[in-house]
Amino acid sequence: MKKIYIKTWGCQMNEYDSSKIVDLLKQNQRYVLTKEPEKADILLLNTCSVREKAQEKVFHQLGRWKKLKQNNTNLIIGVGGCVASQEGEQITQRAPYVDIVFGPQTLHRLPQMINKCCNSKNPIIDISFPKLEKFNNFPKITAKGPSAFVSIMEGCNNYCTFCIVPYTRGEEVSRYSNEILLEISQLALQGVREITLLGQNVNAYRGMNANGTICTFSNLLRLVAEIKGIDRIRFITSNPVEFTDELIEIYRENPKLVSFLHLPVQSGSDRILNLMKRSHTVSYYKSIIKKLIKARPNIQISSDFIIGFPGETRNDFDQTMKFIADINFDMSFSFLYSPRPGTPASDLPNEITYEEKKRRLYLLQSLINKQAQSWSDRMIGTIQRVLVDKVLRKDMKEISGKTENNRVVIFKGSHNNIGKFVDVKITSNNVNFLKGTLINEVLK
């Protein structure tokens, strides 16, 4: 059997896409996944363009793979994802040993691209935007554990000045609701108990129902909650502007929706939010959180922060720190601003030194880590519902799983609990994970 090695960078959407690529090539061309690039017949890199120097990171990896290509002229190297969409043929110009370049919307065409590649000396490049075509060409749904990602929409229409996503993933397009529900139902039949709905702007979902009407994100959540076997629902990533009162009401009425929300804000300064072209203010964001807490008093919030955006003063940063303390965020994705080529913010003057950016990021992450540990400490002595997903050490009979608020809990128990919800009493906080004692085995 031929072997495929795939390296994935970036968001959960990329993880989802990579899993589909593996399933697609397994079904169409009998490829099997390998963890050793040296043994692969095809090497794929699924890229992300959000972080600093994303392109250089790609070419450094390709440089390492070049040596493998020199030793095996039949080896196929492909680059996909957002950097592929952004750079296109420049990838093959700079790295002529790359055979295939594909975008996030054309990954389903990989089997055909591979066939063409075997019969052609020229690289195959397809970074077009055929909207929902890829979802109609995915292979049979296969579960890989008790939790699963399901993509419900792609792209973004917000065009924040720092963000490359609308240019690499395209504008918003939503899948048909019946296709999403069918995919989740098939996963549930295979033992999946937790679903995470994915989208670049997931709560902007507006999919077509079978009768021609529009299904809002709130309606979709209600429909997913009705699927037998699905007991826990998450979604990522959402936008404050699309966080409607109807969506907040779901938290009041449906316990399957977890008491944990990732809601990106990016800054605690209205002036910086305006420069970022974020369509919300700090007070508006706080009003959402206030309503959420009223609907779900135990909810915990995580967020995204960009530090050192062009023009960010110390006062702007101080406002962000105060904002973080006011909300009492639990966890964050926070990183230094770096210009993405082609975005409006890349033309803004940035007089903040790299050292100052690093100092601010350190202070911000220290505050959020302190708050996250405080949230974990509060869990000691409580009983948490845990979805068991791993056997850690068979000799010790240690297993692990996740709570609603994304904490990993390690405790002693039987492997028969894998894929089940159990009750665990939290006994200690070990910084990166919690430890606990099993109370009830195999609840459901």
Is position 48 annotated in a ligand binding site? yes
Burial class of residue 380, CB neighbours in 10 A (0-12, 13-18, 19+): middle
Give me 380's structure tokens. 């000691």
Q: What is the largest CA-CA distance in the chain?
A: 64
Is position 118 annotated in a ligand binding site? no
DSSP string of 44-79? Answer: EEEE--SSTTHHHHHHHHHHHHHHHHHH-TT-EEEE
Give me 225's structure tokens. 């909650």
DSSP string of 142-185? Answer: ---SSEEEEE-EE--S---TT--HHHHT-S-EE--HHHHHHHHH
Region label for 153, one of left (φ > 0), alpha (ψ between -120 and 50) or beta (otherwise):
beta
The candidate with the shortest Cα–Cα distance to 143, out of 63, 28, 23, 256, is: 23
Region label for 342, one of left (φ > 0), alpha (ψ between -120 and 50) or beta (otherwise):
left
How many whole angstroms separate alpha carbon 432 and alpha carbon 409?
Answer: 10
How many whole angstroms separate alpha carbon 80 and alpha carbon 44?
Answer: 7
The four Cα atoms 159, 359, 370, 318 give a dihedral, to 10 degrees, of -70
Give me 413's structure tokens. 């128990």
Is position 160 annotated in a ligand binding site? yes
Could you give phi then psi for residue 210, rounded to 5 degrees?
A: -60, -30
Instruction: Classify residue 390 by its DSSP letter.
Output: E
Binding residues: 11, 48, 82, 156, 160, 163
Binding residues for [4Fe-4S] cluster: 11, 48, 82, 156, 160, 163
